[in-house]
Amino acid sequence: MRLIPDTKGAADGWRWRKASASGNTNGADCVEIADQRDFFAVRDSKNAHGAILTFEPDAWTAFHAWLVR
């Protein structure tokens, strides 16, 4: 897991999708996920140019399994 700043909008071209279990019905409390070739990225939908949390595939699988338990 790694936290990286996205100060230059480098992730703008990534295909982001909102998490289905992000709570709040008006979409204000959502995270977005981008499935990249070698990692998964997570960001706050309210701050698209803010920090991005990245996970290697094995770490993402473990994190996702923990979330859905």
pLDDT tens digits for range 9-45: 778 889 999 867 666 556 567 889 999 989 999 998 8
* More confident: 55 or 6: 55
Look at residue 55 in the predicted model and tell me its pLDDT: 93
Does residue 52 surpass a pLDDT of 70?
Answer: yes
- Output the pLDDT for position 26: 61
| Residue-level pLDDT at 40 | 93
The pLDDT value given to residue 65: 93
Question: 59-69 in b/e burial notation, b at 16+ Cβ within 10 A?
Answer: ebeeeeeeeee
Alpha helices in 1-69 (DSSP H): 57-68
Measured between alpha carbons, how far is 27 from 18 in angstroms, rounded to an integer?
9
**What confidence score (pLDDT) does residue 39 get?**
93
